[in-house]
A = this chain, B = another copy of it.
Amino acid sequence: MSLEIKIKMNESLFLKNPENSDLGKNIVQHAIQLIHLKGFEAFTFKKLAFSIGTTEAGIYRYFENKHKLLVYLTSWYWGWLEFKIDYHTNNISNPVVKLKKVISLLAKTVEDDKNTSHIDEGILHQIVISEGSKSYLTKHVGKDNKQKFFKPYKDLCNIVGKIILECNKKYKYPKSLASTIIEMAHLQNFFMNNLPSLTDFSKQKDESEIVSFLTEMVFSSIHINQK
Contacts and interface: CB of A to CB of B under 8 A. Distances in A.
A216 interface: yes
Interface in A181-222: 183-184, 187-188, 190-191, 194-195, 197-201, 210, 213, 216-217, 220-221
Contacts of A59: none
B133 A133 contact: yes
Which of A39, A136, A141, A180 gathers most chain B CB within 10 Å? A180
B154 A179 contact: no
A172 interface: yes
A32 to B, nearest CB: 15
Given A136-B195, A176-B210, 20 more contacts: A39-B140, A42-B139, A131-B137, A134-B134, A136-B194, A142-B194, A154-B197, A173-B213, A177-B213, A178-B198, A179-B187, A179-B191, A183-B187, A184-B184, A216-B221, A217-B217, A217-B220, A220-B220, A220-B223, A221-B221
A21 interface: no
Interface of A: 38-39, 41-42, 130-131, 133-134, 136-142, 145, 150, 153-154, 157-158, 172-180, 183-184, 187-188, 190-191, 194-195, 197-201, 210, 213, 216-217, 220-221, 223
Contacts of A187: 179, 183
